[in-house]
Amino acid sequence: MTLQEAVAQIKPLDQNAMETAKRRWDSIAKPLHSLGKMEDIIVQIAGITGTPDIDIRKKALVAMCADNGVVEEGVTQTGQEITALVANNFQAGISTVCIMCQEYGVDVHPVDVGMVTDTTVRTDLKVAYGTKNMAKEPAMTREQAVSSIESGIAMAVELKEKGYRMLATGEMGIGNTTTSSAVASVLLNQSVEAMTGRGAGLSSEGLVRKINAIKRAIEINKPDPADAIDVLAKVGGFDIGGMAGVFLGGAALGMPVLMDGFISCVSALVAGSICPGALDYMIASHVSKEPAAHMILERLGKEAVLHADMCLGEGTGAITLVPFLDLGAKIYHTESTFEDIHMDQYEELK
């Protein structure tokens, strides 16, 4: 499925399914709306999937792995070899998020969308061996940006065909908080300083280098804030594009997609800029510690469930939301109704 085809397939949420789901919640023997966002998200999933019969039992995390040429500017604490190391850990099932996924029954699907070396992770969707240094030239061509998005769309299609009902987004790529801060700064029209944090533990000196590298990248490449693909191509990363494709592909296929932290939210921002209708198919999990996290969620019209000061990435925040959603689906389907227990139903009071 091409990017153009995916965007053409994205339609508004099914309001009839959502109304039926709301009535089901209101019939359950408990005070109205007393489970808050748990109820709201289950209703949203009904609209996304087009049915009030909620089934999110088969879930997958798509972890997009890529390297970024901007690491040449000294914007990271570690080298690019860590991207490959963690990607191999994804494949072996021993990274932090893999342990979480094992606990909650989520399958992990790592994808090499642009690492500088080949690893044990699948490479059939690889766009290139890392991006260029955006502080000196565009990170990638426009064609490569589209290819990275279509890699994510291809993953959504593949997993839908395998029977998955919900996707979560994750990533690994040394330097990707730098690219994410650059993309966010341009798309939100905010200062680089406001959008940039310490990532994986930068010193104050390192933070200054990071901010200066992003400023140079924006000045040299002049990304167009009205064209998210141009922004992605000039100052973004293949992992950002890949996750944006998962969001767009999920929306085209009627699948809910869980947002993770800062980098994932920037990908959601890219996807929503390409097709605003895709935003309705996204579910915000948590608020990252990165400075721009709140601003991005506000722009996307999303309110995260979790406020836990998490900033690991990999998809860990998204997976932390999984048991919350599983509980919601369980209650929605199994709890007694007022009719079952012969009790008058609560009414909405003015």
Polymer length of the chain: 350
> How confident is residue 246, by pLDDT bands cut at 50, 70 and 90?
very high
Q: Do 62 and 168 contact (CB within 8 A), yes or no?
A: yes
Q: Which amino acids are annotated catalytic?
A: 314
pLDDT digits (tens, 9 = 90+) for 254-301: 999 999 999 999 999 999 999 999 999 999 999 988 778 899 999 999
**Domain 59-325 class in CATH:** alpha beta
Q: Does residue 341 register a pLDDT over 70?
A: no
pLDDT given for residue 340 in this prediction = 67
Give me 149's structure tokens: 């998005």
CA–CA separation, 1 and 200 (whole Å) = 35
Question: pLDDT (tens digit, 9 = 90+) per residue, 32-64?
Answer: 899 999 999 999 999 999 999 999 999 999 999
- Residues 282 and 300: their CA atoms lie apart, in Å, by 10
Percentage of the residues of the chain whose pLDDT score is greater than 90: 85
Residue of 58, 115, 57, 56 whose CA lies nearest to 90: 115
Where are the chain's structural domains? 59-325
Mean pLDDT of 319-330: 98
Judge whether residue 201 has pLDDT over 70. no
Q: What is the pLDDT of residues 142-187, one digit of tens each?
A: 999 999 999 999 999 999 999 999 999 999 999 999 999 999 999 9
